[in-house]
Structure 1
Amino acid sequence: MQEPDITLVLGGARSGKSRLAERLTSEAAAARAARRVYIATAQALDAEMAARIDRHQAERGPGWATREVPFALADAIRAAGPEEVVLVDCLTLWLSNRLCALPDPLAADVLLEPEVEDLLDAISQARTSLILVSNEVGLGLVPETPLGRAFRDCAGRLNQRMASIAHRVAFVAAGLPLWLKRC
């Protein structure tokens, strides 16, 4: 059996990052004769988001085990076994979930640090290959609100830390991957 590895797929909204991550997961699972596991961090908090989640599940098709994990992502990664290849979609939704649950979201850097460290530890110790999806949110305008700026800053730092432990990092634009790192 191959050693577990970590791939980070970055991109903007509707860039094609999830499609690439799904393909990479399917290829890795086929090479290992492993199950494909989709860890979904989105929450269906309104009808539009529920429809979006349903559409994404239908587009993936059969053969995926889906685990809905809006908060306890590190635990879900630790629970994944070597007979699985895991796609996490996406880190920025997980971060948003965590940020909005804080008593003071503007202190996110300090308040989320233990959870980010725990997530990094879980990923580093994973017993399976992981494909992580995250939005690159720092390419646009400076957000208008303090909460928006706090989210952008936390997401940028999270992506940097994930990229530092990943074996491969791709940036996707217009459906095309640009490989930033391949180890």
Structure 2
Amino acid sequence: MKLVTGGARSGKSRHAEQLAANFERVLYIATSKIFDVEMAQRIAHHRDSRPAHWRTVEQYRELNAVINERNCAQEAVLLECITTLITNVMYDAAGEKPEEEWDFELIEEAVARQIDILLAACKACPAEVILVTNEVGMGIVPENRLARHFRDIAGRVNQRLAQCADEVWLVVSGIGVKIK
């Protein structure tokens, strides 16, 4: 498993796609959900920019359904992106409650369950798995409660993924540096 991390617009997605392009077959797992027109446009742009022969699955939960022992050893599985997955699981776990009533301990447990499923799936999968995530720990402490909890949860998830990964790439200004 390879983990590619970096800040927003750092070039991490392009770097991960270059790693995947070394394989004849690629399964691209998109974790985004369409919430508004702008997000729909972003997703359409990403779809259009990927090679036509790459298969795409849009999913962020129960990833063992698409990452498993049935994947081909000659393919790459590229998951874009972990922090979007975390966001979606957080909102799912919180339900309809207002943010000031969120139980972040229970929310983090829900996120951890999905990461457990993902890591077990990656271990069982013979394909090269490439995970993309945002580095969230290089900025200032966020002003609001939700953003602070998101940063903390994402930071702990990223540490866990990096520990399990065979390779970790940090991408800054379009340049990937292998750090593990």
> So what's the TM-score if we normalise by structure 1?
0.87
1:118 aligns with 2:117: yes
What pairs with 1:93-108 in structure 2 (closer than 5 Å)? 93-103=84-94, 104=102, 106-107=104-105, 108=107
Q: Distance in 2 between matches of 1:146 and 1:75?
A: 33
Q: Which amino acid aligns with 1:18?
A: S
Q: Distance in 1 between matches of 2:75 and 2:103?
A: 34
Q: Which amino acid aligns with 1:43?
A: K
Kindly indicate whether the alpha-carbon contact (under 8 Å) linking 1:105 and 1:147 is maintained by their aligned counterparts in 2. no
Q: Distance in 2 between matches of 1:12 and 1:152?
A: 13
Q: Which amino acid aligns with 1:91?
A: I
Q: Distance in 2 between matches of 1:148 and 1:25?
A: 31
1:91 aligns with 2:82: yes
Question: Among 45, 57, 64, which residue is 2:54 paired with?
Answer: 64
1:17 aligns with 2:12: yes
Q: Which amino acid aligns with 2:118?
A: L
Kindly indicate whether the alpha-carbon contact (under 8 Å) linking 2:62 and 2:117 is maintained by their aligned counterparts in 1. no
Task: Name the CA shift for 1:148/1:24 in 2 (closer, same or farther; >3 Å).
Answer: same
Kindly indicate whether the alpha-carbon contact (under 8 Å) linking 1:15 and 1:172 is maintained by their aligned counterparts in 2. yes
**Percentage of pairs with the same residue:** 40
Q: Distance in 1 between matches of 2:88 and 2:70?
A: 21
Task: Name the CA shift for 1:142/1:76 in 2 (closer, same or farther; >3 Å).
Answer: same
RMSD: 1.6
Q: Distance in 2 between matches of 1:74 and 1:136?
A: 24
Secondary structure of the 2:33 match is coil
Q: Distance in 1 between matches of 2:108 and 2:154?
A: 10
Q: Distance in 1 between matches of 2:104 and 2:71?
A: 36
Secondary structure of the 2:141 match is coil
1:165 aligns with 2:156: no
> In the TM superposition, what is the alpha-carbon distance from 1:61 to its structure 2 partner?
3.0
What do the CA deviations read for 1:122-171 (whole angstroms, capped 9, x no partner)? Answer: 12222211011000011111111221111111111111111111111000
Question: Residue in 2 aligned with 1:179?
Answer: 178
Structure 2: which 5+ residue stretches go unaligned?
A: 95-101
What do the CA deviations read for 1:53-93 (whole angstroms, capped 9, x no partner)? Answer: 11111112321111001323233212751253110000110
Q: Distance in 2 between matches of 1:37 and 1:105?
A: 35
